[in-house]
Chains A and B, each alone.
Chain A
């Protein structure tokens, strides 16, 4: 299933309250061969992403059939207008970055206004890019690297988790073998061999955190 996702198109969620801008960004994205979903507000975006406005944890809303693990609904990038009634693009960006399940999705902000303080605020909050409207096809070339980076980050994390799992399994296997050998060697008081087996168990645990540390830093 992971391999299939790599072959298929990237999926972009576009958020804009203006219908004309939605049509435009949709066409721009489709022309660049991305799969597109458009919504007209920040709250609808969060709903689509499976996150309720008032809580941070990802939960399955009964009003949509979205399943976070449903491959075709996975979002690879969010592009949002800044000026929207209710939840602004900045507010949406914040909510996404505060969510443990969504924070790795790259976010791009669009605005018709060139306000330097606004731009730096968004970038500081974690936006990857800030596009001035009207968005041009050349701007979209800047999207792919962010999506590729996020995908490889996910794959690395998956790989580390797999390797970690393998290591745990192989260590368990080794311990079992060692315990088996000890039992077969010259008789010792049972207490000692048990203590030794327990010590064998302990040491791998101290080294295990290594992988999860790396994953967290990435």
Chain B
């Protein structure tokens, strides 16, 4: 019995549960893991990495869009829609919700609301990014120690 490995797995499980509790990740993230198998062991990392690079670009685009003379709210709305979709698909509800609020401000053509909300979106993004990176780090440690990733159920399954 490798106590070290068990402890690592325990840490990983605790960390995952804390992320669910804080609403940073939801059950959709677990669905991604369900799809991962031996034929495609890097699936989750691949999809999450895509999300991270894609979202970073979208946030940069939005920053630029909102500083234009004539803000194109329709375009900003569409960009936020993309990010909303991606964050929903990987299971990052706080990012998703920030995008929804942003879209409402776009519809109202409320530039100040949009700018404030964009900050919120950036914060949530940075948060989920750092958490996911930490999570992957822990997972790698478990796998490197010869262990398997624990099967997860969220403590409080979100909608």
Contact = CB atoms under 8 A, between A and B. Distances in A.
B96 to A, nearest CB: 9
Contact of B82 (A18, A23, A133, A136): A18
A23 B46 contact: yes
Contacts of A85: 78
Contacts, number: 48
Interface in B57-103: 78, 81-82, 84-86, 88-91
B133 interface: no
Interface of B: 28, 31-32, 34-35, 37, 40, 43, 46-47, 50-51, 54, 78, 81-82, 84-86, 88-91
Nearest to B34: A137
Interface string A82-103: 0101000000000000000000
B51 to A, nearest CB: 6
A134 B89 contact: yes
A20 B78 contact: no
Nearest to A16: B85
B40 A18 contact: no
B81 to A, nearest CB: 7
B89 A19 contact: no
A21 B89 contact: yes
A20 B47 CA distance: 6
A46 interface: no
B88 A112 contact: yes
20 contacts: A17-B82, A18-B82, A19-B50, A19-B54, A20-B47, A20-B89, A20-B90, A21-B86, A23-B46, A27-B43, A31-B35, A83-B81, A85-B78, A112-B84, A112-B85, A133-B88, A133-B89, A134-B31, A134-B89, A136-B31
B88 A134 contact: yes
